[in-house]
Structure 1
Amino acid sequence: MNAPQEESFISHLVELRDRLLRAVVAVVLVFVCLMPWAGDIYDLLALPMMANLPEGTRMIATGVVTPFFVPVKVTLLVAFVIALPFVLYQAWAFIAPGLYAHEKRLGLPLVIGSTVLFLAGMAFCYFFVFGTVFKFIAQFAPKSITPAPDIEQYLAFVMSMFVAFGITFEVPVIVILLVKIGLVDVAKLKEVRPYVIVGAFIVAAVVTPPDVVSQLMLAIPMCLLYEAGVFLARFVVKREVGVESGSA
C-alpha cells in the first residue's frame, strides 16, 4: 500500500469514527433527556398487558435491581428509535460519496423506506397485536390463578415481537430489491406465491407465541406485504424498461 492509498484509508477510518461518535452522542443525549420519565415510558410499554390483567393486579419484578434496569433498557431503546433518523443520516453521509449516481437513487429510498416500514411494524404490533393477543390469552387463563407477569420477561417478549413484526414489514423492500438487482422477476414471484404463503405461516408459528391469533396476525400481514412488494415491483420493471428505451 503506497502513501496516498494509506492516507486515504486512514482518513476513511477517521471519518467512520467521527460518524459513529456523532451517532452514539445523539442516542446518549436523547437517553439522558428521557431518563426522568423512564418509569412512565415502561408503563406506556406495559399498557397493553395491564389493560388485560384483572383489576388491581400488577406486574412483578423478581430481581433486586430489575425495577431500575428494565425501565432503563426500555428508555435506551426508545432513545435509539428517536435518534434513528440522525443515526441513519450519519451512515448515509459516510457511504454516499463512494456510490454511483444510480446507486444513490436506489440507496436513499431503500434506507428511508426500510426504516419507516420497520417502525410501522412496531406500531402495528403495539397498537393492534398486543391488545388482541393479551386479551385472547386472558380469556383462556384458568380462573384459579392470578396472572402476575414479570417485567423482565415481558420486555423480552415485546422486543421479540417488535423485531418479528418490524422485519415482516420489510418484505416489500426485500421483494423490490430482489427484482431490482435481477435475482428474480415478477413472473417468478407470482409463481412462488403458494410457497411464500406456506412459509409465512411457518415463520409465524416459530417466532410468535403458540396461539392462533398472534400467528395469524403475523402471517396474514406478511402475505399482504408480499403482494404489495410484487405489485410495486412491476413499476420498477416498467421504469427500467422505459429508461433503457429512452437511452436507446
Structure 2
Amino acid sequence: MKPGKPAEMPFLEHLEELRVRLMWSLGALVIAVGFAFYFLFTNDDFILDFLARPIHPYLAGGKLAVFHPAAAFKIIMNLSLILGTILASPVIVWHLWGFLSPALYTHEKKVVIPVLMMAVVLFLAGCALSWFVVLPLTLKVFAGIQAASLQPVYGFSEYFGFAVGMSVALGAAFELPTVILLLSLLGLVTPSMLHRFRRFAVVGSLVLGAFITPGTDPFTLLLIAVPLYGLYEMSVILSALVHRWRKRKDAEASGGRA
C-alpha cells in the first residue's frame, strides 16, 4: 500500500463498524437530550426569559402567549432536542470522522479538519450576529409598523420559530467562504472568477442586507451588508491560497515525473 493511501476493509466489516458507531452516536444523543430536558425543566424560567429577551420590550404584559395546554411541554421538548443535539455533536462528529477518515488520503485528512472547524466558527458567528443584532433590530421595525387598531399578541412557538429561522439563515449565509474553499479545492472556482464577480457581490450584499433588516436606516443596512461582503473578500483570499497550493502540487508532481 502506498503511503497515505486509504485503508481497505471488507464490505461487511464496514456495515458492522457503521452499526456500532451509529449506536454510540444515538446513545450519546439520547443521554444529551435527557440531560438537556432535565436542565431546562428545572431552569425553565431562566431559559425562557433569556430566549424572550429580544422581544420583551414589545410584549403586552411582558410575557409571550401560549395557545395550547401542552405548549409549555412542547417548547421544552423542542429546546431539549436542539440543546441535546448541540451537546452530542462532538461525539457524533467524532464517530462520523472515525468512519470516514480511513477512506481518505493523508493530504485530504489535513484539509477536512480545518475546513470543518472554519465552518462551525462561521456558522456560530452568523447565528450570534442574527440573535444579538439583527433580530432585535427587526423586531423593533416590525413593532413600529403595527396598526393602532390592532393589539399584537406574540406566541412563544411562533416567535421562537421566527428567531431560530433567522439565525440559521444568517448562519448559513456565513458559510460562503467554506463553500468557495471547497469549490476551489475541486477546481470549480478560481480567484480570477471571483474578482470578475466582485461588483455583483457588492450589490448582492446590499440586497441581502436590506432583505434581512427591514427598515430604511442605512446604518442598520451597512451593519449587515459590510460583514457579508467581508465574507466574500475572505472567500477570494482562500481561493487564491488554494490556487497557489494546487499550482505547487502540480509543479511537484511534474518534477517527480521528469
The bucket for the TM-score relative to the shorter chain is 0.7 to 0.9
Match in the other structure for 2:29: 27
Q: Which moved more, 1:220-229 or 1:136-145?
A: 136-145
TM-score calculated relative to the size of structure 1? 0.83
Distance 1:55 1:46 in 2: 13
Q: Secondary structure at the match of 2:10?
A: helix
Displacement of 1:61: 0.7
Match in the other structure for 1:231: 237
Match in the other structure for 2:53: 47
TM-score calculated relative to the size of structure 2? 0.81
Distance 2:224 2:95 in 1: 32
Match in the other structure for 2:192: 187
Aligned residues: 240
| 1:43 counterpart letter in structure 2 | D
Cα offsets for 1:44-73 (capped at 9, x unmatched)? 2222112x2257331101122111101220
Match in the other structure for 1:137: 142
Match in the other structure for 2:126: 121
Q: Which moved more, 1:54-63 or 1:216-225?
A: 216-225
| 2:12 counterpart letter in structure 1 | I
Residues 209 and 18 of structure 1: is their aligned pair in 2 closer, same or farther, counting only changes over 3 Å?
Answer: farther
| 1:172 counterpart letter in structure 2 | P
CA contact (8 A) 2:123 2:174 kept: yes
Q: Percent identity?
A: 30
Match in the other structure for 2:247: 241
Distance 2:215 2:39 in 1: 34
Displacement of 1:154: 1.2
Distance 1:128 1:47 in 2: 12
Displacement of 1:149: 0.9
Match in the other structure for 1:96: 101
Residues 218 and 141 of structure 1: is their aligned pair in 2 closer, same or farther, counting only changes over 3 Å?
Answer: same
| 1:8 counterpart letter in structure 2 | P
Q: Does 1:153 align with 2:158?
A: yes
Distance 2:69 2:222 in 1: 37
Match in the other structure for 2:90: 85
Displacement of 1:244: 4.1
Q: Aligned to 1:73, which of 63, 72, 78?
A: 78
Distance 2:223 2:96 in 1: 33
CA contact (8 A) 1:117 1:169 kept: yes
Distance 2:251 2:54 in 1: 54
Displacement of 1:92: 1.0
Residues 147 and 119 of structure 1: is their aligned pair in 2 closer, same or farther, counting only changes over 3 Å?
Answer: same
Q: Does 1:167 align with 2:134?
A: no
CA contact (8 A) 2:34 2:80 kept: no
Q: Which moved more, 1:11-20 or 1:60-69?
A: 11-20
Match in the other structure for 1:106: 111
| 1:32 counterpart letter in structure 2 | G
Residues 61 and 222 of structure 1: is their aligned pair in 2 closer, same or farther, counting only changes over 3 Å?
Answer: same
Match in the other structure for 1:18: 20
Q: Secondary structure at the match of 1:62?
A: coil
Match in the other structure for 2:69: 64
Residues 227 and 120 of structure 1: is their aligned pair in 2 closer, same or farther, counting only changes over 3 Å?
Answer: same
Distance 1:66 1:41 in 2: 16
Residues 72 and 43 of structure 1: is their aligned pair in 2 closer, same or farther, counting only changes over 3 Å?
Answer: farther
**Structure 2 regions of 5+ residues with no counterpart?**
1-8
